[in-house]
Amino acid sequence: MNPRLNPMFVTIAATIAVQVLMSVGITQAGPAPDKKVKQPGYTEFSNPEMVQILGYNDNEGNSNDAMEPFISRDGNYLFFNNSNSAPTTSLFWATRIDDVTFQYQGEIGGEVNSSGPLDAVPSMDMNGNFYFITNRSYAVDLSTIYSGPFADVTDVASVTPVNPVAGVAAPKIGLVNFDSEISADGNTLYFTRGNYSNLAPGAPPSSTEMMVATNQGGTFVIDPHSAKIMKMINDEHLNYAPDTSADELEFFFTRTIPKPPTPEFGIYMATRSSTSKPFDKPKKIEAITGYAEGPSISPDNLSLYYHWKNASGVFVINRVTRTLKP
């Protein structure tokens, strides 16, 4: 999810408006421009191509925005939301025909799309526990990450009931968890916390922090090694939209670097040899260019999906592929 705030994100004490996830015009705030020597990126992925969502977009993707893709752990579903900057952002689902073709099924039913302005950023573990970002209760409890059981009965999908994920609410007003992904086994939650304190409405966060929490009896607890695990990822830039392979040895995310007049978007990848170790220094996936965010790796680890702004200004789902996982 893009870290710019939506004008309707939340109102605190009738005067504090926190907006989430619009286009990142980082030129008005954010870190200083990157002056480091460019490091070589990952070249294993190649062949960017558009994913068709039959019944939702046309062959060129010039109809409806599709953002924040998530491929289910069994590969059967594509979850996504419409534009992050729309008056109402909602969650949708599609069923797999092949790797680049999905059949649109509609909005996800139940309690997912019931809050109004913002329900977005889907993910799901292998047991059908569905997670998403919503602004429905931030003004009350500082929670934005919700979850509930996913059910697909005769091609009608629903998630009911939904509740805040215990243990990861922001610690104070102005800090907002605006992206998350649950691990395949459901035991680890990766999420992004942005600092929106003392910023003008619509400005991006002054900083972001990628964090790790573990499931302990139904309550998620921030991993005491979270900062160490993410040390190489949490640099001075804006890092968000976490995504992991099922074995949690590969980590994908979006990094935005301010480079006037327009920011530079990149999808990065980091690896590690064991889940007990921190991630290594990330590298940019060179095949993904332009305004691209929100990665999601396929169950076989060979296709990486993401949203991309096309020449018509519409966000579509794209993918790049590799032949073997390193």
What CATH number is given to the structural domain containing 38? 2.115.10.20
Alpha-carbon span 42 to 184, nearest angstrom: 24
- The pLDDT, as a whole number, for residue 296 is 98
Q: Is the peptide bond before 7 cis (omega within 30 degrees of 0)?
A: no
Q: How far is CA 269 from CA 33, 68, 244, in A?
A: 21, 17, 10
The per-residue pLDDT for 324 is: 80
Q: Are 59 and 38 in contact (CB under 8 A)?
A: no
Note the pLDDT of residue 261.
80
pLDDT of residue 18: 36
Is residue 253 in a domain? Answer: yes
In a domain, 4, yes or no: no
CB 209 within 8 A of CB 193: yes
Q: What is the token pair recorded at 109? A: 């039913």
pLDDT number for residue 63:
82
Place of tokens 């003008």: 200
The answer to whether residue 277 is domain-embedded is yes
Q: Is the Cβ–Cβ distance between 145 and 189 less than 8 Å?
A: yes
Give the C-alpha separation, 165 to 161, whole Å: 12
Q: Along the 326 residues of the chain, how does pLDDT read in single tens digits?
A: 776 544 444 333 222 333 333 333 332 334 444 455 566 788 999 999 999 999 998 877 778 999 999 999 999 999 999 999 888 999 999 999 999 999 999 999 999 997 678 999 999 999 999 999 999 999 999 999 999 999 998 878 999 999 999 999 999 999 999 999 999 999 999 999 999 987 777 778 899 999 999 999 999 999 999 999 999 999 999 999 999 999 999 999 999 998 878 889 999 999 999 999 999 999 999 999 999 999 999 999 999 999 999 999 999 999 999 998 76
Is residue 326 in some structural domain? no
Residue 2 domain-assigned (yes or no): no
Q: What are phi and psi of 278, to 5 degrees?
A: -70, 160
Domain that holds residue 254: 10-321
Residue type (1 letter), 283: K
Domain count, the chain: 1
User: Is residue 1 domain-resident?
Assistant: no
